[in-house]
Every structure is written in structure tokens, then in C-alpha cells.
Amino acid sequence: MARPLPMVRTRPLDPPAELGRLRAEHPISRLAYPDGHVGWLVTGHAAARAILAHPDFSARAELQRRPVGYGSQEPAGPGIFINLDAPEHTRYRRLITGQFTVRRMRELEPRIEEITAGRLDAMERLGPPLDLVESFALPIPSLVICELLGVPYADRERFQQDTAVIASLDATAEQARAATADIAGYLRELVLRKRADPAGDLISDLARGGELNDEELTGLAVMLLIAGHETTASMLSLSTLALLSDPSQPVRLRADPSLMAGAVEELLRYLSIIHLGPTRTAVQDIELYGVRIAAGETVTISLPAANRDPDRFPDPDELLLTRPTGGHVAFGHGIHQCIGQQLARVELRVGLNALLRRFPELRLAVAQEDIGFRTDAITYGVRSLPVTWTPHVHLGEAV
């Protein structure tokens, strides 16, 4: 029998337990979509990777059904390649892959360190307690993606608000359309300015390259700006919460910062913040794992369930910072695998290491039960994360 997507979590950092029960029965089960469609839900790790890599599943927006919420999916505009298939997807993605390589990210690392230090200085000046989301987790990826794209950070309120509406499950189709139009209008003006007066940023480079028209370049910028800040922001704050929940972990990571790269992978697996998808729709009948998925049926791939599959990760519900995490699907898999993953990794490693070092006594400022979680958006996260620490009294200030 088809049931709706399980959403109820008993422990906030664990996926809904019902997903595990479904996975134990079969890696692919029937799913009732809110619009009445009966499609599929994938909870097994191997099945998730098989579908994400399968050429007969489409990512085109207009073919997808949403597993939650009622907003209708409109065709993706030009440039928004997350919702396009090959060969259109290939053409756009190829133009920007060079900007997100491990080597490019290594070059950016000193600047990311500087940006992080700036936020930590501001936190020290403000003093405890404060909201880590507002002071640290949201500003760092926003500043970084703004610099990379050449978007003025001063305009952040507008694009952060639009992003929140676009990513919300509660927003009506009308609200989502208005927010998308607003952010696209804003970035279109910016694209035109960069065409006339290019600088040393990604939008200017693409404008100079001449391969994209204004609509395409605007779409690409919209997608990168939206995908590039809220995801990493959620990971920074949720990771901090997960690490503070077991005080032995920050102690270990402070003692040996080289552990952080591996710890970040485990946090990505454990937290799997893209918690309600992605989705794909079959373009022809496909037989997989003994089930027949018919052309036109939508499959929701539960990344949290796949990343907690005991057949792939022993003791999957344990956060084990040094475990092997190869093959986790927190960034997806196949041709749509996250293009910003190297950037996100650097931001997380640099950000978390610097935070733990600067505030050795960092702790939650409220009881864990009082932390509000955001379940009504594509990205799982905390609404705010009140933290505190004991400020250092400098000798000069005391006398």
C-alpha cells in the first residue's frame, strides 16, 4: 500500500524511523504523493545510487511530483541545469566545472579563512550568548558565494529572503513564483552591469566568454546563489550542534585539526540535510530490484535513508568521526552530483576548525529540547542555535 513520505523524527538528528523500517522490507517502496500520484520511495543506498546514475530517469522540473507540499513544478528556466537532462545539462555544467575544482578551491582557501576569522572577531566583539546561525553559519557561505559570483553582499537580505521562500514547503506556488521572479530580476540587472563593466568574478568571466545569453547567465546565477549559501549554512550550524552534543568530539578535533576533513564527510553522511529528495521521473519502463517502475512515475530518493543504510555503513546511526564514508550520497550521485561540493567541504573544514579553536568553551546556551528545527524546507536545519562561551578577560582590561 502506498503511504505518504515519513516526516516524523523522534530524535532531531536522526531521519524518521519509519524510513528505516521501509528500507528493511525493501530498498524501493510505493509512495503516495500529495497530488494523488502513486510513485516510489528509495531508501536503500545501492538502489539510490543506481537510480541517480540511470540515464532513463529524468530530472526535468515539469516531470517531477513533489513528495511533500503542493506547489506545482514549472519547467526550469534557461541555465537552471539542476532541473535539466543531457545534453542541455551537459552544456551548461561544462561551462562552470572548472570554477569548482579541488585546485580552485585550494586557491580560495586563504580567503575563506579570512572571511571566517572576520566573523569570529565579530562574535567576540558582540560577546555571548548569540545565535550561531545569524553570526556565523549563514554569513560565511553567503559572503563566499557573493565574492565568487560577484554579487554585492550588501544585498543579502533580498536574496536570503527569496531563497527561504523558494526552499519552503509551505510557500504557495504564487509566493514561490514571486520570489523566483524577484531574485531573477535582481540578478538580471547585475548580469547586464557585468556585461558592460566586467570584473574578476564568475558572472563576469561567463559574460566575457560569450557562450550564454542574458537569460541563461541569469538562470545560472540564480541557481548558484540559491544552492550556494543555505545548504552550507545548515550544515555549519547542524554540525556544530552534533559536535557539541558529545563534548569528547570537540576535544578530539581541537587536539588534531587534521581529523576535520574526515569528520566533515561523516557529518555530511550523518546529517544528510537534503532530506526530502531529490526526485527523478522514469522516461520509460524500468525494472530494478524486482520492481517495475513505469514511464511517468516519480521516484523520491531519500538521501538520509540511503546514508543510514546498515548494508553500506555499519552502525549507521552512530556519528563516528573517523569511519570510512566513501560513497555517501549527501551530495547526490551521477551527473547531477553537487557541483559546489569542494567549496562546501572547504567552508565546513575551515569554519568548524576555526570555531572550535577560537572558542574552546563553546556550548549551547539553551537546553537541547528548546532548539527549533526547520522541517518545512528542502534543506533540514535549525532555525537558530543559541551558543555561549566564557569570554577571556584580558589583563589590560581588568586593571
Give the range of 18-26, 156-164, 327-335, 387-395 binding ligand HEM by CB under 6 A: 327-335
Residue 7 CB-half CA count within 13 A: 17
**Under the criterion CB under 6 A, does residue 95 sit at the interface with ligand HEM?**
no
**Beta carbons within 8 Å of 166's beta carbon, 6+ residues apart:** 176, 179, 180, 183, 226
- 80 or 389: whose CB is closer to ligand HEM? 80
State which residue, 108 or 330, has the beta carbon closest to ligand HEM.
330
**Closer CB to ligand HEM, residue 330 or residue 356?**
330
Site residues for ligand HEM, 276-315, by CB under 6 A, read 278
Binding window for ligand HEM (CB under 6 A); candidates: 38-46, 159-167, 225-233, 354-362: 225-233
User: Which C-beta is closer to ligand HEM: that of 119 or that of 389?
Assistant: 119
Tell me: does residue 267 bind ligand HEM (CB under 6 A).
no
User: Residue 244 in contact with residue 362, Cβ under 8 Å?
Assistant: yes
Report the C-alpha gap between 272 and 265 in whole angstroms.
10
Would you count residue 349 as binding ligand HEM (CB under 6 A)?
no
Which of 76, 140, 344, 352 binds ligand HEM (CB under 6 A)? It is: 344
Which of 395, 302, 389 shows the shortest CA–CA distance to 14? 302
Q: Between residues 336 and 389, which has the closer beta carbon with respect to ligand HEM?
A: 336
Which of 19, 51, 171, 223 is the binder for ligand HEM (CB under 6 A)? 223
CA dist 108 → 105, 116, 141, 280, 394 (Å): 5, 12, 13, 33, 33
Interface with ligand HEM, residue 206, by CB under 6 A: no
- Which one of 165, 221, 227, 382 is in contact with ligand HEM (CB under 6 A)? 227
217 is a site residue for ligand HEM (CB under 6 A): no
Shortest distance (Å) from residue 86 CB to ligand HEM: 10
Taking the least distance from each CB to ligand HEM, the nearer of 296 and 334 is 334
Nearest CB to ligand HEM, comparing residues 26 and 104: 104
> Interacting stretch for ligand HEM, rule CB under 6 A, among 33-41, 159-167, 219-227, 242-250?
219-227
Per CB under 6 A, which of residues 129..158 are in contact with ligand HEM?
145
- d(CA 91, CA 101) in angstroms, rounded, equals 17
Cα distance between residue 179 and residue 161, in whole Å? 8
Residue 60 Cβ, how far from ligand HEM at the closest point, in Å? 11
Instruction: Name the phi and psi angles at 314, rounded to 5.
Output: -60, 145
Nearest CB to ligand HEM, comparing residues 77 and 332: 332
- Total binding residues toward ligand HEM, as defined by CB under 6 A: 24
232 in contact with ligand HEM (CB under 6 A): yes
Q: Which of 6, 340, 351, 381 contacts ligand HEM by CB under 6 A?
A: 340
Q: Which residue is nearest to ligand HEM (CB)?
A: 340
29 vs 281, beta carbon nearer ligand HEM = 281
Residue 92 amino acid letter: Y
User: What does the alpha-carbon distance between residue 64 and residue 297 come to, in Å, rounded to a whole number?
Assistant: 9
* 385 touches ligand HEM by CB under 6 A: no
Q: Which stretch binds ligand HEM (CB under 6 A): 39-47, 187-195, 222-230, 363-371?
A: 222-230
Contact 15, 9 (CB under 8 A): yes
- Residue 212 touching ligand HEM (CB under 6 A): no
Residues found near ligand HEM in the complex (CB under 6 A): 59, 81-82, 93, 145, 223-224, 227-228, 231-232, 235, 273-274, 278, 330-332, 336, 338-340, 343-344
